[in-house]
Structure 1
C-alpha cells in the first residue's frame, strides 16, 4: 500500500495498492487532493467520463456541446468523449486547450483521435461526428454567461414538449411560462415533466437531480441500465392509461396499484424495492433515497434531516464532507448495498458497522467514519439511532416546483421542496 504523495488530507489520506490503481482513481481523487492548479470544466468532463455519467454542472454541459444532455445526440457525443478520454487517454489539460482554441479545433481534434481507435463502434462515432461540426458551433465560452437558452433552439423545446401537451389535454402552443402559470397542482407538474421525458421523441432517461427521479422510483435502480428499463416500463403504462388516471394515482400514492391494474405488476416487482417505494410515494418516502440522490448527482440539495441522520452534520469541513460522500457512493455504486439496509442500519444505530462490513475500513479512515457514523452528535445524551418514523420525508406541497422545460431537456434542472 502507498499513500498519495501529494495528498493534503492529514486525517484521511488516500491509499493505493499500485501506481495503476492510483492513476485510475486520479480523476476522482484530484477533487479531494488539494489540486496544484485551478480545476476546469475539462476536469469535470473527465470525472464524468470515469464515473460513466453525463456531467451535471451547467458550465461543462454547455462548453462541451452536451446542452440537450438527455437526448440521443448528446448521449452519442458523450460516447465520443468516453472513447477519446478513457480509451485513448486524452488528458483534461489537452481537452481544455482544444476547447479554448475554438469549436473547430475541438471538433477536428476529436475526429482525428477517433481515427486512431480500432473499435467498430468508434468507426461509427467517427463517421457520426465528422458529419456534425455544427454541434460545436454555439458552445459557450468562459467569458459568456452560461444560460439555459444558450445553444437550445426553440423548435427543440417544442419538439419535446408538444407530445406531453397533447397527452395532458393542453394547447400545443403553450410555452413553459403558460404551463407554469396555469395554476396546476405540484403533482400534476411532476407528472407532466415525466411525460416530457417518456413520450416520443423521448429523452434517454429521467435526470437524476429532479424530484421525479425520487418520487417515481428511479432512485431504487442499481445502475443506468435498470433506469432505462424502468423508463420502458413507465412507457408501457402511459400507453395503457390516460394522463388524468396517471395523475390521480400519483396524487393518491397509488402508482403500485395502477401498474397492477394495467397488467404490469410483474414488471414492477422485477425492480427491487420499487413496489415498496410506489405504495407511499410521492406523499412520503424513505430519506435514504434523498441521500442516494445527493451522493450520486451534482447540484442536489443536502437536507438538514438527511445530514443529521447520515453523518454529514458532524463533518469538520469540506474534506470530511467529500470523504463521507465518497463512502456512500462506494456503498451504492461499487458494493450495490440495498438502500433499505442503510435505512434499517440508521434505525438501529449501525451505520458504521454496515459500512465497515462492506468496505473494510483501516487506519485514519476507520477513525473518521467511526466518529461520523458511530459516535454521531457530540452533544451529551445525543442518540446514536434514529426512530423509524423519522426516516421518512413527507411532501406537504408548500412550494411551487422550481423547474423549467429548458432545464428538463438539458438535464440541469433541480426541484426545490
Structure 2
C-alpha cells in the first residue's frame, strides 16, 4: 500500500511509532518534526499538552487559538475585538516564525509574569524599521497582556454606543441603560439588526455562536476570510452610510437583503460569495438545515444540541452515545474545513435531500475500513421522501 507524507504529500515509508493513527506516515524525520505541531494533538506524547502547544498550532495555522486556557494565558480573552485579536496573533507570529522565539519560551515568560518585558526586550534587538506593524500596536495596547493596566471602557457598552449612534443617525446622549430599556420593546428582527451594527462598527462580525451568523448570511462563507469579505459589505452599508438603520431593518425583515446590496452597488462583492443569495432569500425565517448544521459543528463550546431538523437530516438521530455524536460532528467539521473547490454547502444539502449523504461524504473524506460501517449507519436519513 502506498502512503503519503502528512507534511509534504510525497511518498512515505516511515510511520509515527508513538501512536496507532493509520495516517501518521512521513517521508523523513524533518517532515515529522514539522508536522508535530499538529500531530501532537492526536498522538500519545510523552508529556502533557500545554498552552504553548495550542499557541504554536494557532501560529502555524494563522488562526485564533480555540483552547480557553491558551486564550486566557496569552491575551486573546482580553483582546475583545477581531482587530485586536488579529494584531495579537500577528505579534506572536512575528515572535515565533520571524524572531525564532519558541512557544515553550513564550509560555515560560507568561508563567514567570515577564511576558510583556521580554516581548519588548526581544523586539528592541530588531531595527525599528524592521519590527513590523504589530509591535507598535502592542506598545499602544499593553493592557491586553498586562492585567495591572486599566482595560478600556466596557467593550459591550462601547459597541452598543457605536451602534446606537447609527440607529439615531447622529450623536446621542442616551446611556447604556436607556438604550437597553428602549430596545426591550423592539421586535426580534430589529434587535438582530442592532446587534449586527454593534459588531460591524466595532470592526467585528458575527461568530457561529450567534443566531445572526446564519440570518445575515455568514454561514454561506467558506472560511474566516470569506466572513471578513461579507463583513466589509455590511461595513459599506453601515459605517460608510450607504443606507440608514431603518433601510437595513426593512430589508432584513422582508427578506430583501440581496436587493438592498444590489441597490447600493454591492452586487459584485456579494456575488463573489457562493450561495449567499440562496441563504438570504428567505432570511430571517427559513433556511436549509445545512446552515444550522454548519453553525452547530463550528460553534465553540460543548453541550449545545442540534435543532430537530439537523438531528434528523444529518444523522445525529442515529448516534447511540456522545462519542458517536462527537465523531459525526468532527466529520462534518472536517468537511467544512476542506478547500472551497472540494466542499460545497449546497451540494451537501442536495446530497441530504436525495438520501445520499454517505456517498457524497465518501467522495470528500477517505473512510478507514473499520469506520465505513459506522458512518454508513450514522449518515442515513429518511430521504428522499416518497411521492404522495
Q: Fold-level match, TM-score > 0.5? A: yes
Q: Which structure has the greater CA radius of gyration?
A: 2
Q: Distance in 2 between matches of 1:312 and 1:32?
A: 24
Change (3 A) 1:50 1:338: same
Q: Is the 8 A contact 2:16 2:25 kept in 1?
A: yes
For 2:166, the equivalent position in structure 1 comes to: 167
Q: Does 1:344 align with 2:353?
A: no
- RMSD, matched Cα: 3.7
> Cα deviations across residues 301-347 of structure 1 (Å, max 9, x unaligned)?
34154355434555576766565444434432333211111111122
- Deviation for aligned residue 1:113: 4.7
Q: Does 1:16 align with 2:28?
A: no
- Deviation for aligned residue 1:267: 3.1
**Residues 30-69 of structure 1 aligned to structure 2 (within 5 Å):** 30-33=40-43, 36-56=46-66, 58-66=68-76, 67-69=78-80
> Cα deviations across residues 127-157 of structure 1 (Å, max 9, x unaligned)?
4435654432218xxxxxxxxxx97532544
User: Could you tell me which of 347, 354, 359 is aligned with 2:360?
Assistant: 354
Change (3 A) 1:260 1:130: closer
Change (3 A) 1:225 1:353: same
Q: Distance in 2 between matches of 1:315 and 1:85?
A: 42
**Residues 206-355 of structure 1 aligned to structure 2 (within 5 Å):** 206-238=206-238, 239-299=241-301, 301-303=304-306, 305=308, 306-312=310-316, 314=318, 324-336=328-340, 337-355=343-361
Q: Distance in 1 between matches of 2:43 and 2:122?
A: 30
Change (3 A) 1:230 1:304: closer
> Cα deviations across residues 168-204 of structure 1 (Å, max 9, x unaligned)?
23853124982597232222222111101222xx324
Tell me the SS of whatever aligns to 2:287. strand
For 2:84, the equivalent position in structure 1 comes to: 73
Q: Is the 8 A contact 1:45 1:60 kept in 2?
A: yes
Q: Is the 8 A contact 1:307 1:313 kept in 2?
A: yes
Q: Distance in 2 between matches of 1:79 and 1:50?
A: 11
User: Could you tell me which of 9, 17, 33 is aligned with 1:5?
Assistant: 17
Q: Distance in 2 between matches of 1:319 and 1:117?
A: 49
Change (3 A) 1:69 1:55: farther
TM-score (norm 2): 0.77
Change (3 A) 1:137 1:235: same
Q: Distance in 2 between matches of 1:33 and 1:291?
A: 28
For 1:124, the equivalent position in structure 2 comes to: 133
Q: Distance in 1 between matches of 2:383 and 2:26?
A: 37
Which deviates the most, 153-162 or 341-350? 153-162
- Deviation for aligned residue 1:263: 3.6
TM-score (norm 1): 0.73
Tell me the SS of whatever aligns to 1:226. helix
Which deviates the most, 159-168 or 213-222? 159-168
Change (3 A) 1:385 1:32: farther
Q: Is the 8 A contact 2:319 2:378 kept in 1?
A: no
User: Could you tell me which of 103, 112, 124 is aligned with 1:101?
Assistant: 112
Q: Distance in 1 between matches of 2:376 and 2:127?
A: 50
Unaligned runs of 5+ in 1: 140-149, 378-382, 389-417
Tell me the SS of whatever aligns to 1:137. coil
Unaligned runs of 5+ in 2: 4-13
Q: Distance in 2 between matches of 1:126 and 1:338?
A: 38
Change (3 A) 1:28 1:283: farther
- Deviation for aligned residue 1:87: 5.1
For 1:395, the equivalent position in structure 2 comes to: none
Change (3 A) 1:176 1:352: farther
> Cα deviations across residues 252-283 of structure 1 (Å, max 9, x unaligned)?
32222322333433432222100111101220
Q: Distance in 2 between matches of 1:307 and 1:45?
A: 34
